[in-house]
Every structure is written in structure tokens, then in C-alpha cells.
Amino acid sequence: MQGKYISRLLESEIQECLQDFPAVALLGPRQCGKSTLAKALITDKKDVIYLDLERPSDLQKLSEPELFFAHNSDKLFCLDEIQRAPELFAPLRSVIDTNRRNGQFLLLGSASRDLIRQSSESLAGRIAYLELTPFLLPEVNNTHGTVTLNTLWMRGAFPDSLLARNDKSSRRWRENFIRTFLERDIPQLGYRIPASTIYRVWQMCAHNQGQLLNTSQLGSALGISHTTVRSYIDLLSQTFMLRVLQPFNANVKKRLVKSPKVYLRDSGILHFLLKIDSFDELLGHPVLGASWETVVLENIIAARPDWQPFFYRTAAGAEIDLLLIRGSRRVAVECKASMTPKLTRGFWNALDDLNVESAWIIAPVEESYPLKKNVRVSSLSYFLETALKK
């Protein structure tokens, strides 16, 4: 199973952007499949040069980047782990402006564009940024049932964890991923933070999965300042480990919660940090609902990047897990980790406040069905296939 390439939903968009921009940056967490996807896209192309900037021999070729690029000016360059060499963005701009053609560079990076220094200024107007996540449910649904929703939920969506030969192998992969991220990846980005400190912040976020961010409380528990906690959370967010979901703050004549929510972005990493080793353990754990919320949010936000994601909560208790906005359109999503979801008064009050066009209760159900007009209980797959299309 691990040896078989699984198509990614982002493939066509990458191809289109290469036709429309001189450079395309494909960003996402380590081990999410960026290199595999890029190699699949370029395998049949002629005149492509692939360089892994973590490999000293490849990095050495770019000791004089302008000479190297000029000598191969008719080729597509795929530069992997570009965050290792942010100084390349200045010569890239010169090469792009000299050649004046689209499809010159495909850049792969394991950090957000805010962490890849100089990129936003140097290549403004010349580059398209795309984010690749670990596997989405529609991608593994195409593997003819070899991966179930519960497997993806329990192991998370990183390819090597999801497709491991058994649960023990999956846990071992996640353990090593976390260790490598803390001990190698963070220092390579230029941060001198003890691995144990970042681990504790990460684990505290896991214990508070899907809850409002309270940096003072976290700082007090960890023995560090709230500003330091915030800087660590920003770092974990910009390396795609955490999602900081902002509250919806439009004028609805209600007292609204103003603090963001924080989620670990991968349910498998969440479960490892909380020492949840089986699906049966997860079903009896207090994090069950927040874990399901993670799977739903990450799939929807990644599959529909043209919609802005927020959550909605008032001081009076009206609440929606995910509010999707595009222009004047509003769609509400509530996550329930139950095959017989029960909705609170706060949900219905929130719908009255927001004037949404439709509301969806996403649950691990097989059949979707209407509850009220414009309110529907749905599986995650059905929502991704049918909602937000028009």
C-alpha cells in the first residue's frame, strides 16, 4: 500500500499555477507528501532539475545560483526544502525577471511564507503560494476502501502514519516525527528553544484541544511568560503543527468571544501526545469530540481554501464550531462525534444570529438526512462532495 502513489486534489491547481506564474511555492508540514507529489508531477517532463536543499551536494550546486540558473535557463527548477536557503530568493527574482516566462520554479517548503524570510518581498507578484496538507478524506477514499474513516481519524493523515502496516508502526512513526521535528526541524529554522519546552507547550495545547487560547493560563502552568507562550504557539502554527482559528467578530449586536481557538492540526499527533493508543480508548476519552472536530475542520478548510474559516461564540452561549464565509455567503458547520447527534440551544441561537444560507451537522454517519429547512446531518464525505459548490 505504501508503495502506491495516491493522487492529490492539489495536482491540477499546481499545474495551472505553473502556467500562470514564474514561481509556485508548495508549502506544508514535513512528511505530508510534497516531494512525492512534486516528483509525480515532473516525472514525465523534460528539462527539469530537482534539487534537495537538505542534500549537501545539491546545495553546493547553488553556491553561485545566478550562474547555475543562467546555464539552465530553459529548465524548470524544483527546489525542495527551500526554507533551508532563504537567501536564494534574491537571485530567484533576478532570474525570473530576466527570463520573463512562467513555470520557472517549483519551490517546496516546510514552513509558512512568514518564516521563509524575504520571500514575500522578493517575489511579490511573481509567485503563487499553495498549501499541501497531509491526506484528505477524498484522496484516501479513492484507494478503494483500503483506508477507513476511523483509521484516518485514529492514526491521523500523514502518509507514513496512515498507511503504516499496523497501529504499532503508526505510533512509532509519529513518535519519531515529533522527535525529529523538535530536535532538528525547529533548530534548522534558526530557533534556539529547548526541545522539552516546545514539547510541553505542544502537549498542553493537546490537552486544551479546540478550546479558547488563554496564554496567561498556559504560561502559568508552564512557568513561562504569556508572551513567550504566544511566540511558541505562533512558531508551531507557522510550521503547520497548530491551527489558530479566529472568532467571527462582525456586528451581530451580541457580546462575542474575542479569543481564538487552538487545535493540533493532525488527529494522529493529538492522540500520540495524549497517549491514546486505540480507537476504543479514543471513544472513551474526553477529547473525542475535539478530535472529531479536528478531522472535520482540517478537511473542510484544506478542500475549500476560497472560503474564510471562523468560529462563532457569544457570551450567552450561542456557538458554531466552524463558520465559512465567502463574500456575502455564510455556511455553518457543527461537528458531532456521534451517529445520533444531539444539538444544543446554543446551536439554534447561533443560527438565528448569523443568517446563514445553510447549516450542516457533520457526524460519522453513513446516510445524510435533513433536520430542518437548510439544516442537514451529513457525513464528512457527503459534505465535501456536495456543499459549497455553487
The residue ranges of every structural domain in the chain are 11-131, 137-386
- Position with higher pLDDT, 43 vs 364: 364
Calculate what percentage of the chain has a pLDDT beyond 90. 79
* pLDDT score at 9: 93
Max CA-CA distance within the chain?
67
198-221 residue pLDDT tens: 999 999 999 999 999 999 999 999
Q: How far is CA 51 from CA 38, 45, 60, 101, 252, in A?
A: 12, 15, 10, 20, 52
Can you read off the three cell numbers belonging to residue 30?
514535513
Q: Reading across the β-sheet that carries 76-80, which strands appear in turn?
A: 48-52, 76-80, 105-109, 23-27, 127-131
* pLDDT range class, residue 128, cuts 50, 70, 90: very high
Q: Is the separation of the CB atoms in 61 and 53 below 8 Å?
A: no
For residue 124, is pLDDT > 90?
Answer: no
For residue 62, is pLDDT > 50?
Answer: yes
* pLDDT score at 117: 56
Strands (E), the chain: 23-27, 48-52, 76-80, 105-109, 127-131, 211-212, 242-245, 261-264, 308-313, 319-326, 329-335, 358-362, 369-372, 375-378
Q: Which CATH superfamily is domain 11-131 in?
A: P-loop containing nucleotide triphosphate hydrolases (3.40.50.300)
Say how far residue 355 (Cα) sits from the centre of its chain. 28
Q: Reading across the β-sheet that carries 261-264, which strands appear in turn?
A: 211-212, 261-264, 242-245
Q: Is the separation of the CB atoms in 333 and 300 below 8 Å?
A: yes
Backbone angles phi, psi at 254, to 5 degrees: -130, 155
* pLDDT score at 123: 83
* pLDDT score at 280: 96
Stretch (H or E) spanning 140: helix 137-141
Q: Is the separation of the CB atoms in 73 and 94 below 8 Å?
A: no
Question: In whole angstroms, what is the distance from residue 360 CA to residue 379 CA?
Answer: 9
Q: Average of pLDDT values for 170-196? A: 94
Can you read off the three cell numbers belonging to residue 297?
475542520
Output the average pLDDT for the chain: 92
* pLDDT range class, residue 361, cuts 50, 70, 90: very high
Q: Is the separation of the CB atoms in 9 and 154 below 8 Å?
A: no
Q: Average of pLDDT values for 90-98? A: 88
- In the chain the first and final C-alpha atoms are separated, in Å, by 35
For residue 379, is pLDDT > 90?
Answer: yes
For residue 1, is pLDDT > 60?
Answer: no
Q: Specify whether the backbone of 383 is left (phi greater than 0), alpha (psi in -120 to 50) or beta.
A: alpha
* pLDDT score at 2: 52
Q: Average of pLDDT values for 255-267? A: 93
Backbone angles phi, psi at 327, to 5 degrees: 60, -125
Can you read off the three cell numbers belonging to residue 77?
527548477
* pLDDT score at 143: 62
For residue 165, is pLDDT > 50?
Answer: yes
Place of cell 522539552: 196
